Amino acid sequence: MVFDDLRSFLKQCEAEGDLEKVDGADWNLEVGTISEMAAEKFGPVLLFDKFAGYPEGYRVATDLFTTKERIALAYGFPRDIDKLELIRNLRAKEFHAVKPVEVKTSPVMENVYEGDQVDMYKFPTPIFHELDGGRYIGTGHTVIMQEPESGYYNLGVERVCIHDKNTLSLFISPGKHNRIIREKYWAMGKRAPVVMTFGPEPALYLSAALHVHWGVSEYDYAGWIRNKPVEVMKAPLTGIPFPARDEIVIEGECLLPDEDRREEGPFGEWTGYYAGGRQMEPVVKVKALYHRNNPILAGVPPLKPPLHNFGAPILSAPVLWDDLENAGISGIKGVWQLEAGGSRMLTVISLKQAYVGHAKQAGLVAAGGHGAGYMGRYVIIVDEDIDPTDINDVFWAVCTRSDPAGSIDIIRDCWGTRLDPMVGPEKRARKDYSHSTAIINACKPFTLLHDFPPTNKASKELRERVLAKWKGKIKSI
């Protein structure tokens, strides 16, 4: 099943009993707190309506991707698919770009505002967390920019805060593709044109949140995932194509840093902290605003780990797996980024060892890649019998197959972000957000593979034989 917009996805969730409507909540903290408490119980999608001071039908949808089941649905897979099986399916076919198709009309153009008519406060944008420094309209959204040299379109998910009716801040961590693009325009003395969509269709949003390689458009990637091109319409002012069936779209310009800056933050971040604090950031001036009738704003605020409000490990693991195999690492059986690490800081690779140094080689490639490099604090390599999605299985391997004196390597000056709670004041002052990464080899020593003590767990064959005999006779198995 392919969803061409957020509405059809929500309709399917409702049909499957996986959506709850909430009327009358306050956009100021209540929406965020209700969403957090529901996510802790892996509850349904929440669709908020009837906000005081706003027209009925101006809605906010949250907890869209807080369960593996809804991420699978968004990608077109069965809800009950296993985590690793979902990742294997996502990488089962060789990537080939499926280009978007341009259309001339869009329901987004049902309401058009330009110049002085623009008012970003017309939507019930929540304050999600108690210490947030503003109303973050950009959490479940896409930021679309065109690389000035090659012309390819990049879609990213970088947080966006409202400052006034036509001014937004856009915080992008160093090294992210949209930041590189923005700085290319600035180096030419130009403002960077930008389009943002708030309430994108699910597969495209998830693709925008991925670590898709530089030069590959997320439009092409999402089309490949969907087996169907994304429909786009060229924005009237910038010419940047936007998804034709999204909910809310703006066109604007990223002003040069010396033109205007606003204090951005703090914001409750994916690490589980407000580590980024307040900082002066360049702004986007909104030139035009478009939205569908009865618009739905997507709210996907970060939540304290192990909750993941944007399905990060399912998004990043296929790309990381590809990075490993493209670098010549054979024998990969599974890749996961554990939720306790914000689904970024703790990467686990399961592999079948083939030679001395195989495990360490895999760890070094992962630590230096795009998928696990950004804020990657730990990379753990385990044997093929370990489930990388199971934190207990992983740390059983760490405790029984590694020795701290010889199994841990430290790499320094790694790719970081100001959101890192461990970056102290002195480093922040000089904008040094680097950190170290530990590679932990929790595999059985390769030279002892055949002499290592066997595991005291019934074999797969024995379990299947016993289950076939006793299934239905003993309720607990």
Which CATH number is 365's domain given?
3.40.1670.10
**pLDDT for res 256:** 97
Measure Cα distances from 268 to 134, 292, 374 in Å.
11, 29, 18
Residue 407: φ, ψ to 5°: -105, 0
**pLDDT for res 75:** 87
**pLDDT for res 330:** 95
Domain membership flag for residue 471: no
355, 408: one domain: yes
CA distance 443 to 473: 38
CB atoms within 10 A of CB 355: 10
CA distance 283 to 259: 9
CA distance 391 to 379: 13
CB atoms within 10 A of CB 149: 8
Residue 264: give its domain's CATH number. 2.30.110.10
CB atoms within 10 A of CB 104: 7
pTM above 0.75, yes or no: yes
Domain end call among 299, 320, 343: 299
The closest alpha carbon to 184, from 157, 145, 210, 156, belongs to 145
Domain membership flag for residue 453: no
Query: Do residues 49 and 21 lie in contact, with contact meaning Cβ atoms separated by under 8 Å?
Result: yes
CB atoms within 10 A of CB 384: 13
441 beta partners: 381
**What domain range is 145 assigned to?**
6-299
Domain membership flag for residue 61: yes
CA distance 251 to 255: 13
294, 331: one domain: no
Domain end call among 299, 324, 350: 299
**pLDDT for res 95:** 84
Question: Measured at the alpha carbon of residue 335, what is the angle toward residues 350 and 157, in degrees to the nearest 5?
Answer: 160
Domain membership flag for residue 465: no
**pLDDT for res 417:** 86
174, 229: one domain: yes
**pLDDT for res 11:** 97
**pLDDT for res 309:** 54
**pLDDT for res 328:** 93
The contacts of residue 383 (CB under 8 Å, 6+ apart) are 350, 351, 352, 353, 397, 401, 443, 444
320, 292: one domain: no
354, 397: one domain: yes
CA distance 355 to 446: 7
128, 236: one domain: yes
Query: Do residues 141 and 120 lie in contact, with contact meaning Cβ atoms separated by under 8 Å?
Result: no
Domain membership flag for residue 460: no
Domain membership flag for residue 267: yes
221, 183: one domain: yes
Query: Do residues 65 and 302 lie in contact, with contact meaning Cβ atoms separated by under 8 Å?
Result: no
Per-position pLDDT tens, the chain of length 477: 789 999 999 999 999 999 999 999 999 999 999 999 999 999 999 999 999 999 999 999 999 999 989 999 998 889 999 888 888 888 877 788 999 999 999 999 999 999 999 999 999 999 999 999 999 999 999 999 999 999 999 999 999 999 999 999 999 988 899 999 999 999 999 999 999 999 999 999 988 988 788 999 999 999 998 889 999 999 999 999 999 999 999 999 999 999 999 999 999 998 888 988 899 999 999 999 999 999 999 999 998 888 765 566 777 788 888 889 989 999 999 999 988 888 888 999 999 999 999 999 999 999 988 778 888 899 999 999 999 999 999 999 999 999 999 999 999 999 888 888 888 989 988 989 999 999 999 999 999 999 999 899 888 899 999 999 998 888 888
194, 96: one domain: yes
Query: Do residues 283 and 257 lie in contact, with contact meaning Cβ atoms separated by under 8 Å?
Result: no
234 beta partners: 241
Domain membership flag for residue 463: no
Domain membership flag for residue 472: no
288, 341: one domain: no
The domain tally of the chain equals: 2
**pLDDT for res 310:** 52
225, 289: one domain: yes
Domain end call among 299, 320, 346: 299
246, 346: one domain: no
137, 267: one domain: yes
Q: Is the peptide bond before 306 cis (omega within 30 degrees of 0)?
A: yes
